[in-house]
Amino acid sequence: MDKALAELIRISNATGKDSALVQGGGGNTSVKTADGKYMYIKSSGTALKDMNEHQGWWRLRLETVLSIIKDKSIAQLDTKTREVEVVNRLLLACDDKVTAEARPSVETHLHAFLDKCVIHLHPNAVGAYVSAKNGKAELHKLFKDEKPPILWVPYTDPGFMLARKIAALVNNYQNRLGKKPAILFLEKHGLLVSAKSPHAALQLVRRVINRCNGRLRQPKVGKIKFVSQQIISDIKLCIRRAFFEATGKYATINYFYDDCFAAFWRQRDAQKMLLYPALAPDELVYANGPAMWVDKCDSDKIAGRLTSQINKSRKPSVAFLVRGVGLFVAAREKVTATIRDIVASSFFIRANAYRMGGVASLNKRQQSFISEWEAETFRKKLVSGSGEDELRDRIAVVSGAGSGLGRSIAAGLARAGASVALADIDTKAAEQTRNFIKEELPKAQVMVVGCDVTNEANVREGFEALLKNWGGLDILVNAAGVAPAYSLVKLPVEKWRLAMEVNLTGYFLMARAAARIMTKQGIGGNIINISSKSGLEASKDNTAYNATKAGEIHMARGWALELGKYGIRINCVCPGNVFEGSKIWNPEYIRTCAKKHGIKPDEVFGYYVSKTALNREIKGQDIADSVVFLCSDRARTITGQTLVADSGQVMVR
């Protein structure tokens, strides 16, 4: 490994693992090679702590990077054309065999004019000064004895224009003092340090942070107020409803409590401090600006405030500080921790900047540039994931998800973009389903919920776990089931009762719990009962199955009439014979079917396929596709209906 690359990984990991230096995974680093020809730099969207010799960096030809800044023709281009041109030129400057979606850091140009080792961070201690109206004067007093002196960089649009600004300032600085600056404070942005060695750069960063922190007020640790899970769940549903009503988008809602949140809301002017717009690019890009102050959770009022933001061409808040309770974040799981860290940093910075002459936030023009900046959009996409999946960000529960149709349906919902809770009495099987989904879809949001659908308390606990994790519910698929195959005269009463419990009581308990959440949430929803063709046309030697599957259909029709006024749609899917991964089609059941039809066990599957009009075996994905359709907006007028997915064996009449 090249010495410069090893040094880059060292300083990156050291800073990235220090929470005092890095919030939300932000920051970047670079190291130039000894011959001055190349520069290794962190790639965009990579966390500093995650960098290693195989990923998270690019090597660029330094002269090519410098030529971008020197090219005056680029500055004449319109903003969008200019930024795309710069991105393309940076990619052309890359000189390595790295193949990845990530790009060189969006701030590569800034590093090119500085010393060998460069660390660029957004620590709270620095943010308090660079986001304060009197921050520049305070920093010059604080570092008045620093040799060489610090360099203050007035706010400039990030990217190419900031790189040009720094190039000019560094050139003037060098002409005056005969050397390059070692410490640069970037207004409304962060800190840049540069040194001749990794050790010197790391020492310099920590010295700057310690000195800055020495003049700042740290949050006071207070007593943690107990808040019941019921209150937290109610607030999640309230915020989720408000967010959906204002934006038309589904979101998972996550809850956080930290001493710094409580310390902030206890301050007299806390609400006033949050009225200032975003302080820095990261707060705008990831958190859509400052957290919304909420005294009391009223979904209509919150929706109104979000709508007002949108009408003013602002991004709607995704973080909500509920006084006395904690922070609620409406975002995908992967980006939630980043938003939490950025918001926590913002609280600290706002409180200290407020005492330092007032808060200096981004103005409307600056916000507009950052919101439209292609490089930041790309960076957020890498962190949070993107896509136009049909069920994106909807929250689903699938019972019987440990095997067979339940597993296939859960995977189908995940492919469509939903966050899926895998409910099953067999948690090991559910874990296998989770692994199956994550292997195909590493970014999928999946959780396992141990749940006996026949146990009322167990069902309640399962949905409580769902709300605690994701804060809402949009889809329930009842897929857990049993099929005791006996002739009437040989059917044991305990098998009859088992079928009633699992196939009817289980569906009822799950649907009741789901309906209670959906009605409280107030944004509609979908409940799908997985019935069977046997629920429409009875099959021989299947008394319990016939009765329960027919009952599931009729229950769904009644629920559709009850819940339609809440925008909740209830439908059934009646699969034909799905053999793939099924626990129902076990060897004993296959032998029973073979005996019933006078054929050999190995002929059973072919026999049932031959009874369909399409002469086509039904796969789990076929049923999953039916479920996804019924849960999608394409089926928005369909409720109380039965969709038969059996390759044409039973015709609905």
Active site residues: 545
**Interhelix angle 404-415/427-440, nearest 10 degrees:** 30
Quick one: which of 292, 323, 249 has its CA closest to 472? 249
Q: In what order do the strands lie in the sheet with 28-32?
A: 57-61, 38-42, 28-32, 117-121, 190-195, 183-186, 151-153
Q: What is the 3-state secondary structure (H, E, C) of 33-56?
A: CCCCCEEEEEECCCCHHHCECCEC
Q: Which two tokens stand for residue 170?
A: 């560094």
- SS3 state of residue 99: coil
Half-sphere exposure of 470 (CA within 13 A, CB side): 29
DSSP letter, residue 525: E
| Tokens found for residue 367 | 């916000």
Alpha-carbon 529 to chain mean position? 29
Measured between alpha carbons, how far is 343 from 328 in angstroms, rounded to an integer?
Answer: 11
Burial grade of 388 (CB within 10 A; 0-12, 13-18, 19 or more):
exposed
Residue with tokens 């129902």: 584
Q: Cβ contacts of residue 175 below 8 Å, gap of 6+?
A: none
Instruction: Mention every residue, 6+ apart, whose C-beta is less than 8 A from residue 553.
Output: 529, 531, 535, 536, 572, 574, 642
What percent of the residues of the chain are helix, what percent strand, and what percent coil, each to the nearest 5? 50, 15, 35
Pair 321, 293: CB distance under 8 Å: yes
Write out the two tokens for 424.
């099953």
| Contact in structure between 380 and 374 (CB atoms under 8 Å) | no
